[in-house]
Amino acid sequence: MAPVPKGGTIAVTGAAGFIGGWVVRRLLDKGYRVRACVRDPGDASKTAFLKAMPGFASGRLTLHAADLDQAGCFDAIFKGCNGVAHLSHLSGYLDQDAVRRVCEHVIGSIDASGSVTRVVVTSSIAAVISEMDLQELVRRPVLYEDRYPDQSNPRRTPERGQGYSMGKLVAEQAFAQAAQRSGTWDAITCCPGDNVGPIQSSHQQTGGPWQQLIAGMLKGSCPQTGVYRPWMTVDVRDDAECHIGLLESAEVKNGERYIAWSTDARRVEDLCADIDRLLPELGHDTPAVTDDFPERIRAREAEMRRIWAGCDLRNERIRALTGIVFRPLDESLRDCVESLLSVGQVVPRLRPGFSPFAPN
Ligand X SMILES: NC(=O)c1ccc[n+]([C@@H]2O[C@H](COP(=O)([O-])OP(=O)(O)OC[C@H]3O[C@@H](n4cnc5c(N)ncnc54)[C@H](OP(=O)(O)O)[C@@H]3O)[C@@H](O)[C@H]2O)c1
Residues that bind ligand X (CB under 6 A): 14, 16-20, 38-39, 46, 67-69, 87-91, 122, 124, 192, 194-195, 204, 207-208, 210
Nearer to ligand X, 236 or 282 (CB): 236
Nearer to ligand X, 116 or 127 (CB): 127
Task: Note if 168 is an active site residue.
Answer: yes
- Note whether 34 and 24 are within 8 A (CB): yes
Nearer to ligand X, 129 or 321 (CB): 129
Task: Compute the least distance from the CB of residue 14 to ligand X, in Å.
Answer: 3
Q: In this chain, which residue has its C-beta nearest to ligand X?
A: 17
Q: Which of 6, 30, 79, 168 is catalytic?
A: 168
Q: Is residue 15 classed exposed, middle or buried when 0-12, 13-18 and 19+ CB atoms within 10 A define those classes? A: buried
- Note whether 121 and 188 are within 8 A (CB): yes
Would you tell me the crossing angle of helices 210-219 and 268-278 to the nearest 10 degrees?
60
- Note whether 24 and 36 are within 8 A (CB): yes
Nearer to ligand X, 156 or 203 (CB): 203
- Name the 3-class secondary structure at 260: strand
Task: Compute the least distance from the CB of residue 106 to ligand X, in Å.
Answer: 10
Task: Compute the least distance from the CB of residue 30 to ligand X, in Å.
Answer: 19
The strand pairing partners of 142, in sequence order, are 312
Task: Compute the least distance from the CB of residue 96 to ligand X, in Å.
Answer: 15
Nearer to ligand X, 120 or 282 (CB): 120
Task: Compute the least distance from the CB of residue 353 to ligand X, in Å.
Answer: 36
Residues comprising the chain, all counted: 360
Q: Please give the positions annotated as active site.
A: 168
